[in-house]
Amino acid sequence: CRSAFKLLELDQKYGLIKPGYTVIDCGAAPGSWTQIAVKHSNADGSMPSKPKGTVVGVDLLQIYPVEHAILFGNSDFLRKETQDKIRSSLGDRRVDCVLSDMAPNATGVRSLDQENITTLCYSVLRFAILMSTPNASLLMKVWDNGDVPKLEKSILEYYQTVKRVKPRASRDDSAENFILARGFVGIER
């Protein structure tokens, strides 16, 4: 699907997922980003000489099985219980890359839709802050709106670099962008 090409392009350009990485895929259904993460993190063991990664996918919708991934379908990422399940599945592992292609169901009311996606982004950011390993990356979908600069400023408190990126696979007329944050520095500088 089109979203797979977005992640492939961004991963090729920025090297987000490497063998041995622990990756969280928020908004994972139907599973194309999870499949890419499994391959690139070597969670499938297809590169015997490289470390094996771990991939966890979560979505409000049902997710079809993806071999070598831990999946939480029919699970609301905004709920504490869901995030607790993800943490539990990781054991003592920290996260190297948090991906979010989540978007709320569109209501048609632009301001409400923008508020809803911003809420999702802050939830992903909070999870990433609590679970990331030093130097981790964060990639999340946003829709252009007046709240994005404030969100970017919030992210920059925890990451060395933050930038808005638009993959070629995104439609030109789409308000969709991705925020890419690199170099997680933690809660204290």
- Residue 84 domain flag: yes
Q: From the candidates 18, 52, 141, 166, give the one annotated as an active-site residue.
A: 141
* Of 14, 3, 1, nearest in space to 162 by CA: 14
Q: What is the pTM of this model?
A: 0.95
Query: Is residue 189 a part of any domain in this protein?
Result: no
Distance CA 61, CA 39 (A): 23
Q: Which two tokens stand for residue 180?
A: 């890419």
Full residue range of the structural domain in which residue 7 is found: 2-184
116 occurs within a structural domain = yes
Report residue 55 CA to chain centroid gap. Answer: 11
**DSSP annotation string for 87-115:** HHHHTTPPEEEEEE---PPP-S-HHHHHH
> Residue 18 maps to which CATH number?
3.40.50.150
Clarify whether 141 is annotated catalytic. yes
Q: Per the domain annotation, does 37 fall within a domain?
A: yes
How many domains would you assign to the chain?
Answer: 1
Q: What is the pLDDT of residue 145?
A: 81
Q: What is the pLDDT tens value at each position of the chain, 189 positions in all?
A: 778 999 999 999 999 999 999 999 999 999 999 999 999 999 999 999 999 999 999 999 999 999 999 999 999 999 999 999 999 999 999 999 999 999 988 888 888 888 899 999 999 999 999 999 999 999 999 988 888 999 999 999 999 999 999 988 777 777 889 999 999 998 764
Torsion sign (Cα): 107, 103, 165, 160: positive
Surface-to-core class of residue 168, CB atoms within 10 Å of its CB (0-12 exposed, 13-18 middle, 19+ buried): exposed
Q: Which residues of 85-105 are buried (b: 16+ CB within 10 A; e: fewer)?
A: bbeeebeeeebbbbbbbbebe
Residue 58 lies inside a defined structural domain of this protein: yes
Q: Which residue, 184, 185, 181, 186, is CA-closest to 14?
A: 181
